[in-house]
Chains A and B, each alone.
Chain A
Amino acid sequence: MSTATTRGQRTGETGETGEQAPAAADALAGLLVSGERPPRPSAWAASAAFGWRAVLKIKHVPEQLFDVTVFPIMMVLMFTYLFGGALAGSTDQYVQFLLPGILVMNIVMITMYTGVAVNIDIAKGVFDRFRTLPIWRPSAMVGYLLGDMLRYTIACAVMLALGLVLGFRPAGGVTGVVAGVALLIVFAFAFSWIWTMFGLMLRTEKSVMGVSMMVIFPLTFLSNVFVDPATMPGWLQAFVNNSPVTHLASAVRGLMAGDWPATEIAWSLGWGAALVAVFGTATMRLYNRK
């Protein structure tokens, strides 16, 4: 039997087969025999494993946190001082209004890096291996988004800290702020499926970037993030008041101010569910066909 030969080889260290043959045949044979098969992992376990992969990538390439640290700081400073005096009389006043909104804008903006990451990653051979594993199919994509949720949390923390320094005093306290951030991150998770779809659909990361910009710029600027929509022309109000970003910004603003804006929360979650239903399905269709 194989165990007998294994033992024999190990004791008779003749070394004639090359003493540093890395795949020591006996060790390998033992490993192969002991390979009992565990049950297939749950959908959550598989997604969590992919989420862990995303976190490891952040650990190995910490530079990629630039877009969730430096960029948000820049945005908060720029818009607080650019518009503060003109729109609200003082930057102190304006930051109360702006901060929840710019939080939303920023997080929605950085979701697009998901698409770029998927696009770069999918071209590599490792995806062929993932796709031959008997696991819940969307788990690789969900794993990305779990990793991204960590990034979004970091970005929120950075912006909130800066906001507090600039004079942001949320009436909702810690509870309100945490609730606001939680809602925002849940929405961002749903919104990111747009980018996983484009990441799989488009051929180069540049085109993914281009499409993302075209969607994100109008969507975030044409909202109530910077100003009250009341002064906008009617046709624009129609768009702005129905935009998911407006609903989300209102909900986050309300929560952080200590209110319970039930309608806006419902709208935000409803949009989230719709986005997952449409773009999640499209993503998986592309993923399976690739």
Chain B
Amino acid sequence: MGENASGLAIETSGLVKVFGETRAVDGVDLAVPAGTVYGVLGPNGAGKTTTVKMLATLLRPDGGRARVFGHDVLHEADAVRARVSLTGQYASVDEDLTGAENLVLLGRLLGHRKPAARRRAEQLLEAFGLAEAAGKQVKNYSGGMRRRIDIAASILNTPDLLFLDEPTTGLDPRSRNQVWDIVRAVVARGTTVLLTTQYLDEADQLASRIAVIDHGKVIAEGTKGELKASVGAGAVHLRLRDADRRPEAERLLARVLGARVQLDPDPVALTARVGLHGDGAGAAEQASRALAELARSGITVDTFSLGQPSLDEVFLALTDRPADRTGAPANEEEEIPA
């Protein structure tokens, strides 16, 4: 059927979901090209999970439209279900069952006969490094193992669209890297992935386009490059030996980096975004230039680090307030008048 001429895996317009008084999702427009990883970035309670649930046919939208591969999520729910899989931030396997039983159950529900389901389960457990834990109840799995069995369940039949709802929240770095590897393998095969995350780093690693969502609204959308151009590729954190030299260092950095410099609560610390301006220099190059300038002026730097901007910094850049509203009052005093 010639549905989906647009080449979009997901297409929503004015998507709304209301819970009581709160508009959890408040007019979300998304256009996710097929075959890509699309990141949805936002803090807790931004409406990411609610959006995913509507797209996965678990929640009825209260307004707007959503199509998955050209199928309306409300009126053609079964056609959507046949092509998507969902991995939530919660365990979406049965904790009372063993890993193997879970996969065999799902295999059967997806139409495999029992021997075929069993074979597929074995292969998946092997590939996900869970062969030894196959006979253990999932409730005894570690966080990383749980997430892996969960993703294994989602790709039992390779889906055309995979929803990954905060797949690495609460995982240690090693498990997180494993999950990332799996996601890359799935995408390489041609599956479209909608990834929600609280970590800019994760979106940066995996996604090609990113939507930043807050209070149920998309506040920024674009390719990674576009988003970074508005936020800055990274942030330099500096700690000086002498607190008295901080105002001087601040002026110097502002001049060299051409960016707003933030004075941290710690009287010797400053933070500045780098990579904001397209003069061709990378973030690291800009930072080292700044360091050299500081050294030339005789300002001693005790420690220095260059990192990805955090979600908080992204929000600060996009909305002029941090993502976490409870942290706002403390920061306000430190804000520099421009």
Interface hit among B25-33, B184-192, B313-321: B184-192
Q: How many A-B residue pairs have CB under 8 A?
A: 135
Return chain A residues, CB-CB under 8 Å to B148. Answer: 22-23
From B57, B116, B130, B178, A131 is in contact (CB under 8 Å) with: B57
- Assess whether B105 is in contact with A131, with CB atoms less than 8 Å apart: no
Total interface residues on B, CB under 8 Å, equals: 53
From A23, A27, A40, B82 is in contact (CB under 8 Å) with: A40
Q: How far is the CB of B173 from chain A (nearest CB, A)?
A: 12
From A38, A53, A124, A126, B112 is in contact (CB under 8 Å) with: A38
A33 within 8 A of B: yes
Within 8 A of B (CB), among A48-83: 49-50, 52-53, 56-57, 60-61
- Assess whether A31 is in contact with B124, with CB atoms less than 8 Å apart: yes
Within 8 A of A (CB), among B127-172: 127-130, 137, 148, 153, 155-158
Q: How far is the CB of A285 from chain B (nearest CB, A)?
A: 13
- Assess whether B189 is in contact with A33, with CB atoms less than 8 Å apart: yes
- Assess whether A56 is in contact with B181, with CB atoms less than 8 Å apart: no
Known contacts A22-B128, A41-B111, A129 near B86 by CB under 8 Å: yes
Q: How distant is the Cα of A194 from the Cα of B186 in the complex, in angstroms?
A: 43
- Assess whether A134 is in contact with B82, with CB atoms less than 8 Å apart: yes
- Assess whether A38 is in contact with B110, with CB atoms less than 8 Å apart: yes
Q: How distant is the Cα of A128 from the Cα of B109 in the complex, in angstroms?
A: 14
Q: How distant is the Cα of A52 from the Cα of B129 in the complex, in angstroms?
A: 26
Total interface residues on A, CB under 8 Å, equals: 41
Q: How far is the CB of B183 from chain A (nearest CB, A)?
A: 10
Known contacts A23-B182, A134-B78, A134-B82, A41 near B110 by CB under 8 Å: yes
Return chain B residues, CB-CB under 8 Å to A130. Answer: 109
- Which residues does A use to contact B, with CB under 8 Å? 2, 20-25, 27-29, 31-33, 35, 37-41, 45-46, 49-50, 52-53, 56-57, 60-61, 124-126, 128-135, 289
Apart from A33-B189, A56-B105, A132-B56, 15 more pairs, CB < 8 Å = A27-B126, A31-B155, A32-B189, A38-B110, A38-B157, A41-B111, A45-B111, A60-B96, A124-B90, A125-B90, A125-B91, A128-B58, A129-B86, A129-B92, A289-B60
Provide a sorted-by-A list of 9 A–B residue pairs whose CB atoms are within 8 angstroms: A37-B157, A38-B111, A40-B111, A60-B97, A61-B96, A126-B91, A126-B92, A133-B106, A133-B109
